[in-house]
Each structure stands twice: as C-alpha cells, then as structure tokens.
Amino acid sequence: MAIAHLLMGRRGRPLHARHFICIADEGFGDPQNFLAHSMAWFQGRLYVGTTRMGKRSNDRTNPGMFHRRSSRPGAHAYIHEPSQRGQIWVYNPQTDRWQKTYESPVIRLPDGTRAPREIGYRSMVVFQGASDSAPALYVSSISNVGSLILRSDDGEHFVPVSQRGLENNDIWSLRTLVPFRGRLYTSPTGRIGAELIDRNIAETPIVLEGPDPAAASWKQVSEIGFGDPTNRGIFEMALFNGFLYAGTGNPYTGFQIWKTRAEVSPYQWQKVITDGAFRGNSNEAIVSMYVFNDALYVGTGIQGMGYDRAYNAGPAAAELLRIHPDDSWELIVGSRRRTFEGVKTPLSGLGPGFGNKFNSVIWRMIEHDGWLYVGTEDLCSYLLPITRIAHIRSQAIDDLVDEEGGFDLWRSQDGAVWELVTRVGFGNPHNHGLRTFASTPIGLFVGTTGLHGCEIWLGRRS
C-alpha cells in the first residue's frame, strides 16, 4: 500500500523522530550519491537532485571524498570520470516507488576525454516565467565544465536553458534559485579547478536576475560583492517584507545581509547587518534563510567543517538569528555579546549550534504544519574518516561518533522555544548533514548528506 494512504496526518501537530521513516538509503543504492542536494514538489511528485563528490571506498570508515589539499595536476581527476554523473530521482507517492528520471549526459572535452556535464544539482524551484505556459521545474547544477540551469515541464525531460556559467565558463556552480516579482534570481560560486575548500568562494560574487530564464535571459543586478571586496560569495537569498534579501560569505569580517526592492533598475541595495552580527568571522557566512511568522530567520556557518583554516575563521558552531520587518534583529541561538544596539542574549537560551559544538552549519529551514524545522551539519560524523586517514585508532572517538554523530533536527512553534527531534541523524551517525527539505501535502521530506550515501526520510503523523 502506498505511503500516502498509510500516513494520514493532522495539521498543526509537531513531528517527533518516531514519525519519520526512511524511504531511500545509501544514495538510492549508489553510495556515490553523497548529497541529496536539492528537492522540489512538482506535479504531485517529489524530485531530488543528487551531487556526487568522489569515489567511495569499500572501507566504510574511510570514504574517498576525504583527501589532503593538493596542487598536483590531476589530484582530483575522479571528478571527470563518467561515473560521477549527477542524478535526479522522482518519488511517486501513489505507487510508493522511486525512479531515476534524469542523469547527466557525458560529453567529450577538448582533450578528447569524456566527462559528465554535471556532477550534481544544487537547487530546484517551481517557477513560471514569461515564456512558460505553465509552472516548470528549474534546476541549477554543479559542473566541472561550466554550470548550467536546466528546465523541465514534465519532470522527465530536462533541457539546458542557459549558457555555461551564465556566460562565465569558469563558474563551478550556481547556488540558490529564488523567484521574486516574476523573475528568477541566483548567484555563482566556485571556480573550476579550485580545491574543494574553495568551492564556496566566488571570483565575481554577484546577484543574477533571469527576467525570462526559459529564454536564457540573465543579467547582473548587483555590484561585485556589494562593493566590498571582502565579500567572497553570495550564499543565500530569500523574499521578505517586499524585499529580496541576500546573505554573503565574508571570511575576513563576517557575513553581511543586504536587501533590495528590485523595482527600478539599477537596483538599490541596502545593508541590513554586517560584521557577522557582531561576531566577526566566527559567523563567516549566511547559509540558510527562511520566512516564518512574519520574520526572517537566518542560519550561519563556517566552511571547512567549522574551521576555515585558509582564513582563520573558527572553529565555532553556528548561530540562528531573526530579522523583523523594520530590520531590527534578535539572537535566537548563539553566543551572548555586546553590540551597538545593546547586549544580545539568545532568546532560546541555547548556545551556538543549539548547544552542540559540532553543529558548524545551520543548513536548512522550513515550515510544516505551523512549525519551523531547522536542520544542521554535525562535524562529529567526520571524526572516524579523518582519524582513519591519519591512521589513528581510538575507542573514545568511536564511542563519541556512535553517541553524537549525525545531524540535529529541531522544531519551534514561536521561534524562541525549541524542541529536539533528533540529535543523531535519525539513528545513523554517518548522516552528518540535513541538506534539504520539502513540505508537501503528504508530509515533510528530509534529504541528508551521508558518508555512505544520502538518505530520504518522510515525516508524518499517523
């Protein structure tokens, strides 16, 4: 019997860990599907885009994605192997079945070798532009030959509707896709050939607008870095109170948040918060944004597993802030500190990382049945593969990972009082990150990042 008929929910009641069931594991049977990177509910089905981050070792304690930084030519040659083709999977709740609906094509490079056109699909959104006769599914990609935006009107055929990197062939990925005022917005990140640690750094951190993305129409609508060269990426965007908000990554002085009405060109951008909300580069980047109960919630993070050694940012756990329509802000989860606006104390009473020092990123947020759910990336899960690479054996580390490994999932009805759903990745200590959500008529879907392949969970009260 289909899950949709088994799980009949009641609106407004919170989800506990026992209400979640795993409906796909080990990367849909292929552990190289490391991340469930994007999700969207489209035409009554769930679509999931995966990203493949390297070969997986047969040794389950030593996944192949971990490697030392190297400038040696070909050090990351695996990313050009045809096996590293990004995939899009679709779940049909009527039949309770998954199907791989799309896989990146393999193309021939100028040197004659064959490589996947995309290794992953970072963002998905349902959007109807000027040339669309109906809402379509738009997908941004990760590519070692130049990122593309794909479009599908049926969930089966995905067609590129952009030039590579939106006219910059060196762009490794396009980040979030955000509709606003009938247009689509995104931002570039990473440079082809850069080390993994640098894949969140944009050489030209800008906001791009697609007035008609189906017609490959894109233009720059912000200054590079909003005029500040220390802004090294535009990590996340959201719509709030009639404005488009954008959060940066700034490894020098901490994130900034900017906003625009996007009405009269050239758009005027206003700075909302700077200097990592008085925490400096311990709040290196805005990683997630979500509107809930007439406020904008923002989650922070530090790249490099919570300690960006290249810029001496961290180590530090992530914070959660709340911005009001007048742009005043409150600290929800984080470190008490003095600011120009007085002392900021976390309203939840919880320190950075929801009191868990391993939570380096507040990765995703979503509202479902009147509750705000927040998922993290938990670095504790990485301890086993890192120590194995260093040839360290420690029973204490093994025990710590068993007890603490796995992402956190929290929920709140008012944004101030928080309740824990799971602290251990639904019981899988190798589920180190909650990467994506989808709130749907049949329940709340969760997509993970896992050292042994991603998982998909469905939560609904019975």
DSSP codes of every residue in 40-66: EEETTEEEEEEEE-S---SSTTS-TT-
Distance (Å, whole) CA 181 – CA 289:
18
Q: Residue 315, preceding bond cis, omega within 30 degrees?
A: yes
Q: What is the reported pLDDT for 66?
A: 41
Specify whether the CB–CB gap between 138 and 105 falls below 8 A.
no
Q: What is the reported pLDDT for 6?
A: 41
Closest among 251, 244, 248, 290 to 268, alpha carbons compared: 244
> Other C-beta atoms within 10 Å of 97: how many?
11
Q: What is the reported pLDDT for 404?
A: 85
Distance (Å, whole) CA 81 – CA 161:
25
For the record, the structure tokens of 143 come out as: 């590519």
Q: What is the reported pLDDT for 164?
A: 82
Angle at 69 between CA 252 and CA 317, to 5 degrees: 45
Q: Binning pLDDT at 50, 70 and 90, where does residue 1 land?
A: very low
Instruction: Name the one residue in this structure whose structure tokens are 């003095």.
Output: 338
Closest among 164, 141, 142, 172 to 218, alpha carbons compared: 164
> Other C-beta atoms within 10 Å of 332: how many?
25
Q: What is the reported pLDDT for 11?
A: 53
Q: What is the reported pLDDT for 2?
A: 45
Q: What is the reported pLDDT for 363?
A: 97
Specify whether the CB–CB gap between 278 and 339 falls below 8 A.
yes
Distance (Å, whole) CA 283 – CA 266:
30
Contacts of 142 (CB under 8 A, 6+ apart): 37, 51, 86, 118, 119, 120, 121, 122, 172, 173, 190
Q: What is the reported pLDDT for 116?
A: 94
C-alpha R_g of the chain: 21
- φ/ψ bin of 161: left (φ > 0), alpha (ψ from -120 to 50), beta (otherwise): alpha
Encode pLDDT of 236-264 as tens digits. 999 999 999 999 999 999 999 999 999 99
Mean pLDDT of 95-100: 98
Q: What is the reported pLDDT for 304?
A: 83
Q: What is the pTM of this model?
A: 0.92
Please give the single-letter amino acid code of residue 409. L
Average model confidence (pLDDT) across the chain: 89
Closest among 157, 156, 151 to 134, alpha carbons compared: 151
Specify whether the CB–CB gap between 126 and 134 falls below 8 A.
no
Q: What is the reported pLDDT for 79?
A: 58
Distance (Å, whole) CA 238 – CA 288:
9
Mean pLDDT of 35-41: 98
**Domain boundaries along the sequence of the chain:** 31-221
Contacts of 117 (CB under 8 A, 6+ apart): 104, 105, 106, 107, 143, 145, 148
- Burial (Cβ within 10 Å: 0-12, 13-18, ≥19) of residue 184: buried
Encode pLDDT of 378-391 as tens digits. 988 887 777 666 66
Q: Following CA atoms 424, 428, 429, 430 in sequence, which dihedral angle do they give, to the nearest 10 degrees? A: -130
DSSP symbols for 275-305: HHHHTGGGG-EEEEEEEETTEEEEEEE-TTT
Instruction: Answer yes or no: is pLDDT of 71 > 90.
Output: no
Mean pLDDT of 337-343: 93
